[in-house]
Structure 1
Amino acid sequence: MKLSATDTQVQAVVNEIRARGLTEHVSRGSELVIIGAMGDEDLLDASRFEILPGVERVTRIMKQYKIVSRDTHPAGSVISVRGIPLGGKQIQVIAGPCSVETQPQMADAAAMVAAAGCRMMRGGAFKPRTSPYAFQGLGVQGLDYLQTAARAHNLPVVTELMDVRMLDTFMEYDVDVIQIGARNMQNFDLLKEVGRVNKPIILKRGLSATINEWLMAAEYIAAGGNHNIIFCERGIRTFETAYRNVLDVTAIPVLKRETHLPVIVDPSHAGGKAWMVPALAQAAVAAGADGLLVEMHPNPPEAWCDADQALSAEQLTSLMATLRAIASAVGREL
């Protein structure tokens, strides 16, 4: 729309889109309003829209992922998590244990996460594990432990949803950010359901997913009406066996070019070893990541899940100091 376009003119375009049997997506920036039309594009006549009052130009977006495409929101999106911005200038570090174990463990972890300068906390109440005999998480009790510990330090929480049947429970416990794990990236029924709730969603990249498949998975969520999506690169599976996964740093600038949504990185699951995490985290921030998802534990050797990749409180504090310097060097802040 033109800079001078009025709300009435915007609504007229929306009405025209609906009259043709399509749905609209209105993106309001600080100056421009961009209206996207989703559906069968053959039903639209571009010339009819070009003559409507207030219309600057009509562009046909050929990408399959339309809502999450940067074409619909050139300035980039900032997602607010209880007032904490994800995207934009400030970089967020989300830290905490791989799995919720006990209330004392979570209380200690929350205090350490806050003391290190992190503004959000992670913790797994439901754990997808390769082995059916490995610890699967505490379930609903874990949600209670996580929220109790995090709220004491005013930390929003991030935790993984595995089963669509637990979505109502997540809403009941007021989970701040719902994480969709790598193994569920293409669980389309699950994606559709989280697309209907008003919660930020972290969408992890699948183990062997292409960038296009990842973007299309996000489009499933956005098509349901929830546009608060955060991409999370966590390493992909290749032929290499020297480390857990290959962190695809290249994906960060590619995604930042293709989508207006924030991009974060999970260096813990990529490297699989605590000693690798700082280098991978630093590379991610330097490459333009909007945040990090880092595993830490009050006593890493005693962790019930992924002990090898968990940072101690001292290691997390040291990493935060290094990341502040890198963020400053690339014109951002931690």
Structure 2
Amino acid sequence: MEATVTTPVDITAVLSKRPLIISGPCSAETEEQVLATATRLAATGKVDALRAGIWKPRTRPGSFEGIGTKGLPWLQQAKKLTGLPTAVEVATGKQVEDALHFEVDILWIGARTTVNPFSVQEVADALRGANVPVLIKNPINPDLELWTGAVERVAKAGIKTIGLIHRGFSSYGNTEYRNAPMWHLGIEMRRRNPELLMVCDPSHMAGRRDILQDTAQRAVDLGYDGLMIESHIDPDKAWSDAKQQVTPEKLAEMLDSIKWRHESTQAEEFLNALAKLREQINHIDDELLSLLAQRMKIAEKIGQYKKENNITILQTSRWNEILERAVRKGEKQGLGKEFITKYFDAVHLESIRHQNKVMNED
């Protein structure tokens, strides 16, 4: 095939697009597969960057671990054919060097690398002096400090453009998702780093096509800046992660079906209504804090009685009674059992802290 695009890629402009859509095969398998996927993705007019796994860190040996460096020229050729900037995952210093040598436009650090500060530091050291955007996936385990640490290490290496990829977390007992989204952790990471690009990877969250769109819609509803979705010309025959990939055409259909949201609007009626509702929430929050403070004062009095009568702080039967009553009443008012349990667990721990303080006062 002859190259049809020679214009240099303005990667800053690409990354500023909203929504930002990154797509491509889980793994680069053959030159023909990479070029065909890239061409069909470009034809949809909906994809901003082409991703492909060159090196694949697999959970267990024996799985396809990537085609290796020989696949990088295929990505170069795909970029020339389509104009799409390219993105690959890197896990070692050598992989960083190879990717930069073949002019990969965007690098990302995968979940299995983010979990290891030594590996992140090796990648960061190899990035020194490079002018390339780096996206960082959350670690496999739900640890925001590891995720934050990876961001800090890459930033200290002099990388100016850093983004986040939320791909879900490994969770024992999770059955619906391949990797549990744990949306609250993604939201908290966004709160800590509001200036960073935040992309969701629903492919690795869902792990299967039938819930991929719903997962992507949830990310859009939460205000993520973009999506990274795996696409393959023949998903069922993919060499890795076949169940979660879709064809370029199916990807386009899915993106057309998603209800895209905006973080803000200048519509006066909406802004006025929202301001009033938020003010109501502020008042209710103030009341909740006041009531919680009153509850803790009563807990301290209980702690004093327990101290005087040599009774332990923790009364399991009483706690079970409180929790069962709360769940029963809360569910009748439309509150989820999981929320009620977490809320009352937090209240209980704070109550124990107050009683423990009373118990240990001279």
Q: Deviations over 1:224-249 (max 9, x none)?
A: 21121111111101123313110132
Which residue does the alignment assign to 1:36?
A: none
Q: CA 1:214 to 1:247, structure 2 compared with 1: closer, same or farther past 3 Å?
A: same
Q: CA 1:195 to 1:240, structure 2 compared with 1: closer, same or farther past 3 Å?
A: farther
* Aligned match for 2:163, one of 216, 230, 254: 230
Q: Is the 8 A contact 2:93 2:125 kept in 1?
A: no
Distance 1:330 1:297 in 2: 34
Which residue does the alignment assign to 2:360?
A: none
Q: Is the 8 A contact 1:234 1:266 kept in 2?
A: yes
Q: Secondary structure at the match of 1:326?
A: coil
Q: CA 1:162 to 1:301, structure 2 compared with 1: closer, same or farther past 3 Å?
A: same
- Give yes or no for the alignment of 1:107 onto 2:45: no
Residue 204 of structure 1, CA deviation: 0.7
Greater helix proportion: 2
Greater strand proportion: 1
Q: Secondary structure at the match of 1:250?
A: helix
Task: Give the alignment's TM-score, normalised by structure 1.
Answer: 0.70
Q: Is the 8 A contact 2:96 2:123 kept in 1?
A: no
Q: Is the 8 A contact 1:204 1:231 kept in 2?
A: yes
Which residue does the alignment assign to 2:56?
A: 127
Aligned length: 250
Residue 272 of structure 1, CA deviation: 0.7
Which residue does the alignment assign to 1:155?
A: 84
Task: Give the alignment's TM-score, normalised by structure 2.
Answer: 0.65
Matches within 5 A, 1:48-197: 82-87=11-16, 90-116=18-44, 117-185=46-114, 186=117, 187=119, 188-197=121-130
Q: Is the 8 A contact 2:142 2:170 kept in 1?
A: no
Residue 329 of structure 1, CA deviation: 8.3
Which residue does the alignment assign to 1:71?
A: none
Q: Is the 8 A contact 2:88 2:106 kept in 1?
A: yes
Which residue does the alignment assign to 2:192?
A: 258
Which residue does the alignment assign to 1:239?
A: 172
Q: Deviations over 1:231-279 (max 9, x none)?
A: 1111101123313110132234323321111111111111111112111
Residue 330 of structure 1, CA deviation: 6.4
Residue 167 of structure 1, CA deviation: 2.2
Residue 217 of structure 1, CA deviation: 1.4
Gaps of 5+ in 1: 1-79
Letter in 2 for 1:169: D
Task: Quote the RMSD (CA, aligned, Å).
Answer: 1.9
Distance 1:112 1:295 in 2: 13
Distance 1:121 1:215 in 2: 26
Residue 83 of structure 1, CA deviation: 4.3
Residue 290 of structure 1, CA deviation: 1.0
Matches within 5 A, 1:277-292: 277-292=212-227
Distance 1:265 1:81 in 2: 22
Letter in 1 for 2:96: L
Q: CA 1:82 to 1:227, structure 2 compared with 1: closer, same or farther past 3 Å?
A: closer
Q: Secondary structure at the match of 1:277?
A: helix
Q: CA 1:269 to 1:125, structure 2 compared with 1: closer, same or farther past 3 Å?
A: same
Distance 2:239 2:160 in 1: 34
Residue 150 of structure 1, CA deviation: 2.9
Q: Deviations over 1:266-317 (max 9, x none)?
A: 1111111111211111111111111111101001111111001001223201
Letter in 2 for 1:207: I
Letter in 2 for 1:217: A
Q: Is the 8 A contact 2:49 2:86 kept in 1?
A: yes
Q: Is the 8 A contact 1:286 1:330 kept in 2?
A: no
* Aligned match for 2:246, one of 305, 311, 325: 311
- Give yes or no for the alignment of 1:274 onto 2:202: no
Distance 2:15 2:99 in 1: 21
Residue 189 of structure 1, CA deviation: 2.2
Comparing 237-246 and 216-225, the one that deviates more? 237-246
Q: Is the 8 A contact 1:195 1:220 kept in 2?
A: no
The answer to which structure, 1 or 2, has the higher relative contact order (CA under 8 A, 6+ apart) is: 1
Q: Runs (4+) of structure 1 moved beyond 3 Å?
A: 327-331
Q: Secondary structure at the match of 2:260?
A: helix
Letter in 1 for 2:78: A
Q: CA 1:329 to 1:209, structure 2 compared with 1: closer, same or farther past 3 Å?
A: closer
Q: Is the 8 A contact 1:103 1:149 kept in 2?
A: no
Q: CA 1:176 to 1:268, structure 2 compared with 1: closer, same or farther past 3 Å?
A: same
Distance 1:167 1:281 in 2: 29
Letter in 2 for 1:96: G
